[in-house]
Amino acid sequence: MSQSPSPIPARTSLRTALLLASLFAALTFLVHFLTSLWGSHLGYGFFRDELYFLVCGHHLAWGYVDQPPLVALQARLAETLFGLSPTGIRIFSFLAGSVTVGLTGLLAWQLGGRRAAQVLAMTAILAAPVLLGTANYLSMNAFEPCFWMGALLVVLRLADGAASPRAWLLFGLLAGLGIENKHSTVFFLVALVFGLILSPQRRILWTRWCVAGVALLMLIALPNLIWQWVHHFPTYELLNGVAHSDKNIKLPPLAFLWEQVRILLWETAPLWIGGLAWLAFARAARAWRFVAFTYLIFLAMMMLMHAKDYYVSPIYPVLFAAGSVAFGRLTRRRWPLIAASVNFFLILCFATGPVVLTILPPDRYDAYTAPFAPNNARSEKFTSPLPQILSDRFGWPQMVEGFATRYYALPPDVRARTAIFCGNYGEASAVNILGPKYGLPTAISGHQNYFYWGWNGYTGESVLTLGNDPKDYADTYAEVIDLGPFDAPWIMDHEHHHYFWLRHRKRTFAADWPELKYWY
């Protein structure tokens, strides 16, 4: 006589959920830490943006042209505590990636998931390329899903009555820190408010504790807002300029949606799309219906603004969690969830990990990853032999050594008056982070926040720079001398340059500095 499927047990205890989340967080940290160490052995070095963030950390402020202050503080603390090495400066980002995975399990628990559903949600999100890749280097992107999903977990518990209204203060803390980490948090919060207003859970907004939470959020975000106001909102100027340029690849809506499937791994699509459907229509998810509205509103906002495809990625952990819970309710047995978890773990080991982490030697990367076509995924116009997240970790030491060779070839009296001017923050930051061991002077640039840091008193009578064509400098300098090419394997295609020695600038840096501003 056959037995009917047993009823779905009550969700596991919070203690068990926390233990599972902690175990997966520890596993995630080990994945990032060990692959970063291995990558250093293979020649993968500092990522371009990491070098810039480190320099920003040496100029701590309440804001920068292209980001809020938290990533610079993260860089400064990591360098101070763990030393100046690629793995050392990434420790906090590894921890953030680990927290994101653990939070996904807790979200599944909050939505009523059993242990198998929690494990499935965490395994699937760990295998998602976009989130795995952005947590593997020093960046604000690693922290973004932590703050978003932490704040959302609070609202989920408020919506179903599991948390006291005082929890709005925790929401305000997390959301405020999220804004100080990356300004896109504002758009997520706007979508969340509209999602709540469109659902019956709008009632949780009309409390004094919600007002207190929002007040705390604004208080935490206020220093950066003041900095923006004092500096005439440079971040808006930057973003407006980029929006009206050809820098980013602008995708039409269907292509943008397809990119969501691709960057999250197409095998996971049934899980997170099913989670969205469950949140939108299931009776059991009625208390959390606002999450579906929030996602759809946020997705529409990003498409309308022609945002980069990965800007939506921090919101997906909750959809993975919901999909895992829905799958568990549909099957009413553990083994399908366990089988799916094993499948995603194998994908992590043999597909996602090698594609986005520093596991493969660069000369074997294309052969191994050809079936996945990872280099077809670009959010900017720049091209490279490896995906940009990997190519931008090559060439910086060689570039700086090339500057040092040419700097010390100059006569000593000329050398003392020679500036190193770089066209972008990656080159300038490489000189400023890796150059001190050669005794190089501080590089200057007009790019991003370097514009505010100025010209360091140089007149322009003698300048070393990287460029492409001596004609680019003929109108500005009396003499342009080509000092030979810079080249290194695996670097970004636009970084193949020549070193130039520029002499006798016709107008000083001080006179021309406003025209050298380059926010792009």
Q: Which tens digits make up the pLDDT trace of 169-224?
A: 999 999 999 999 999 999 999 999 999 999 999 999 999 999 999 999 999 999 99
In terms of pLDDT, which residue wins out, 48 or 250? 48
DSSP labels, 153-183? HHHHHHHTT-S-GGGHHHHHHHHHHHHHH-T
Q: Above 60 in pLDDT, residue 9? A: no
| pLDDT tens digits along 22-63 | 999 999 999 999 999 999 999 999 999 999 999 999 999 999
The 477-486 sheet, strands edge to edge: 418-421, 462-467, 497-505, 477-486
What is the predicted pLDDT for the residue at 6?
A: 37
Q: Above 90 in pLDDT, residue 247? A: no
What is the predicted pLDDT for the residue at 1?
A: 38
What is the predicted pLDDT for the residue at 374?
A: 65
What is the predicted pLDDT for the residue at 140?
A: 96
What is the predicted pLDDT for the residue at 246?
A: 75
Nearest 5°: CA angle at 477, between 472 and 479? 100
| pLDDT tens digits along 492-508 | 998 999 999 999 999 99
Burial status of residue 488 (CB atoms within 10 A of its CB: 0-12, 13-18, 19 or more): middle
Amino acid identity of 365?
Y
Q: How many residues does the chain have?
A: 520
What is the pTM (predicted TM-score) of this model? 0.94
Average pLDDT in the chain: 94
Percent of the residues in the chain that have a pLDDT greater than 70, as a whole number: 96
At 51 the three-state DSSP class reads helix
Asked whether the beta carbons of 362 and 490 are under 8 A apart, the reply is yes
